[in-house]
A and B are shown apart, each in its own frame.
Chain A
Amino acid sequence: MATIQVHEITKRFGHQTAVNQVTFNVEPGEIFGLLGPNGAGKTTTIRIILDIFKPDSGSVEVLGGKMTEEKKNRIGYLPEERGLYQDISLEMCLNYLVRLKGLKPSQAAQRVADLMKQFDLYEHRKKKVKELSKGMQQKAQIIATLAHEPDLIIVDEPFSGLDPVNTQMVKDLLREERNKGRTIIMSTHQMHQVEELCDRLVLINHGKVMLYGKINEIRRNFASHKVVVHPLGELPAYLPGVLQVEQVNSGYLLHVDTGTTPQEILKSLVEANIPLEKFEIAMPTLDDIFIQVVTAQGEEA
């Protein structure tokens, strides 16, 4: 059974439709990407999932049913609009937020202390939050999201404000959580992070679902008839089925005739005794797909 089932939800604010008939499932133990340009309806969708907003129509099931107060203790949420109490100590702030997730005071204090040590924040625990750097505050928010060991983790732009070392740490942490069987929804603009971490994704634009499925399948569907070749020597002047040869970096991008398969190109190269370092089907990046989908919809609109 899916951890989250979003079924044809629609939400309007005045005359503007923020989310329009959005449907997707999030499966247990996966990292699921929620993508879309600014103002696409991602945050509204998350808020509907979390029962902060009620949809005008459609339904949402979380952790096997409607949202309840008990289920809130099983969810960790890192919102895009980051916020911590600025005028109190880091320790007090985190203990409070974690206790609101149902932990006893001693449990909360222990978990918060452990995570502060892991994130190199322990020696800053007595400082007021406003005295911490943006990156430190970001790490503190991640602690508040994960300290109660939630079954469902929803993170909105989790890497913003983090340096490469901490970005890597958060990535490892998210993978670790997935390996423990926890379900993660990650909303981000950083497509390379999605490619690296997510199993499946949904792409929303103008409140509608544009893409939904496994990342590899989506990329395959968007794959054009191109192959990347890195020969040790020169390429022959003519290769059957190749329409155009484009030099890229240290290799070549071959534009292939629609009637020719990549396997036939490889066979031709082998028959022509061309030693190869690399031969691969040129798959589009998620960035390419994102731009392609969003731009196409923009032109249609």
Chain B
Amino acid sequence: MRKAWIVFLHEYVRHVKNKRFLFGLLSLPLAILLMTGVAIAAVFLSFDFRPVGVIDRSGLFQDAQSFKEMPFKEISFFLQVLPYDDEEAARRALDQGDIQAFFIIEPDYLTTGKVRSISQTGVDSIVTDVVSQYLLTHLLKNENPLVKTRILEGPRLEFETLDGKEPINNSSLFTSVLIFLFGIIFFFSINITGNYLLQALVDEKENRTIEILFTSLSTDQLMIGKIFGNLSVGLTQIFFWFAIPLALGVFALRTLPLPNTLNLDLSAIRLMMLLAVPAFIMVSALMMLAGATATEAREAQQVVALFSMLFFIPLFILDILIENPDSPLSIGFSFFPFTAPLMLPLRSVVTRIPFWQIAVSEGILVLCAAGAIWLASRAFRLGMLRYGKKVTLMEIFRSRVS
């Protein structure tokens, strides 16, 4: 296997050291960072960060502090709430532009909840939310902390039905979105790594180096080195491409109160990972098959595009899937190796999938991956020495290569 390792390193280094790769590697994260920066800048520029004033005529908020008791994670962190003794002082501050608005808490607030808002051009809903949160927090300041938290955060709902089907709710929608995102990552991974693999084979054919390689190491070692070398190149690119958005996403999830209100179902993601591994191997082998039998890169890329489109069939029939997740069509697509990696996890969000279906689906994928490797190995040996000539599937089956 030492020679497979040499091939692996060579394939990896020659791509990674290429300027085109570095440009491609940096272009997407930079574009994302730039767009994120522009979006954040736009929000900051358009949002009014000036404080808001509060005049307490109810006597309920006499010793209220502006944000010490406010939850750190809230946007209110950026927005200061200043108490004023009388309306005149607040109006003066508003005229001078020191504050964007002020709120007058009426004497009968406790019974009527009445609060007047005075501003020059109206206030954003975020401002009113912040003021409401401010009032609520201070009203509850002497309450038991557990009770206070429950009132402020509200209930955490879990949904069940008598027939075992899980109705669509915020949580399952969020999981579905995550599956969709993972699907996109999977799609990108397949395309990027597949294209590297394909290009490597077509280059090898065009450079006419394959004959020297065949007389230096076994076909198996060459294939292993090439597959893993080019997969690693693609995965390096994907890692850089997705590490930054992923890190931003994790930061957002930790910072924002979203996870507190959504019960994330990780079992669907785990199921997807389980199915993605053999699916990835199967597609890689099929890419090799396409690369070894095609006469030029464009022709092979068309075949690859077809493979990757098949993976997205479940998303095209999402409506039918949600309506009837246990229909023969949905179950059928759960066993079809190209659609199973997305179909099963999506179904698992809305229904309980019997274990045997998962086992059969995984089994079919593993068998297909093994079959694709076998086929690719034969095609590789036969097709790589055919310069400018196609190799047919019949030839691959009939050939004597071992």
Contacts and interface: CB of A to CB of B under 8 A. Distances in A.
A86 B207 CA distance: 7
Given A87-B14, A100-B6, A52 B209 contact: no
B211 A84 contact: no
Contacts of B165: none
A97 B212 contact: yes
A100 B387 CA distance: 23
A69 B211 contact: no
A85 B13 CA distance: 13
Contacts of B10: 96
A59 B211 CA distance: 21
Given A83-B212, A99-B6, A69 B401 contact: no
B17 to A, nearest CB: 8
Given A69-B217, A77-B215, A54 B208 contact: no
B274 interface: no
Interface string B197-222: 00000010001111111111110000
B107 to A, nearest CB: 81
Given A85-B207, A86-B207, A52 B214 contact: yes
Nearest to B384: A52
Of A47, A77, A83, A86, most B-chain CB atoms within 10 Å: A83
A267 interface: no
A75 interface: yes
Chain A interface residue count: which class? Answer: 20 to 34
Nearest to B381: A52
Given A72-B216, A87-B18, A101-B216, A54 B402 contact: yes
B3 interface: yes
A97 B216 contact: yes
A81 interface: yes
B400 interface: yes
Contacts of A92: 14
Contacts of A72: 215-217
B385 interface: yes
Given A69-B217, A100-B217, A101-B216, A77 B211 contact: yes
Contacts of A87: 14, 18, 203
Given A84-B207, A87-B14, A75 B215 contact: yes
Nearest to A141: B212
Interface residues of B, number: 24
B401 A54 contact: yes
Contact of B218 (A56, A69, A85, A144): A69
A96 B212 CA distance: 11
Given A85-B207, A100-B217, A56 B400 contact: yes
A43 to B, nearest CB: 9
A48 to B, nearest CB: 12
Given A54-B401, A99-B6, A81 B215 contact: no
B209, B217, B385 — most chain A CB neighbours (10 Å): B209
B106 to A, nearest CB: 77
A88 interface: yes
A144 B212 CA distance: 9
A278 interface: no
B387 A81 contact: yes
Pick from B212, B214, B387 the residue with the most CB of A within 10 Å.
B212
B218 A83 contact: no
A50 interface: yes
A28 interface: no
Nearest to B395: A14
A52 B6 contact: no
A29 interface: no
A75 B387 CA distance: 24
A79 interface: yes
A82 interface: yes
Interface string A41-57: 00000010011101010
Q: Which of B207, B208, B401 has the most CB of A within 10 A?
A: B207
B224 to A, nearest CB: 14
A144 B213 CA distance: 11
Interface string B72-89: 000000000000000000
Contacts of B385: 47, 52
Contacts of A144: 212
A82 B216 contact: no
B245 to A, nearest CB: 31
Nearest to A80: B211
Contacts of B203: 85, 87
Given A88-B14, A96-B6, A96-B10, A52 B215 contact: yes
Given A50-B215, A54-B400, A84-B209, 4 more contacts: A51-B215, A72-B215, A79-B212, A81-B211
Interface of B: 3, 6-7, 10, 14, 18, 203, 207-218, 385, 387, 400-402
25 contacts: A47-B385, A52-B211, A52-B385, A54-B402, A69-B217, A69-B218, A72-B215, A72-B217, A73-B216, A75-B215, A77-B211, A79-B212, A81-B211, A83-B209, A84-B207, A85-B14, A85-B203, A87-B203, A96-B6, A96-B10, A97-B212, A100-B3, A100-B213, A101-B216, A144-B212
Interface of A: 47, 50-52, 54, 56, 69, 72-73, 75, 77, 79, 81-88, 92, 96-97, 99-101, 144
Of all A-B residue pairs in the complex, the 6 with the closest CB atoms, nearest first, are A83-B208, A100-B216, A83-B209, A79-B211, A81-B208, A77-B215
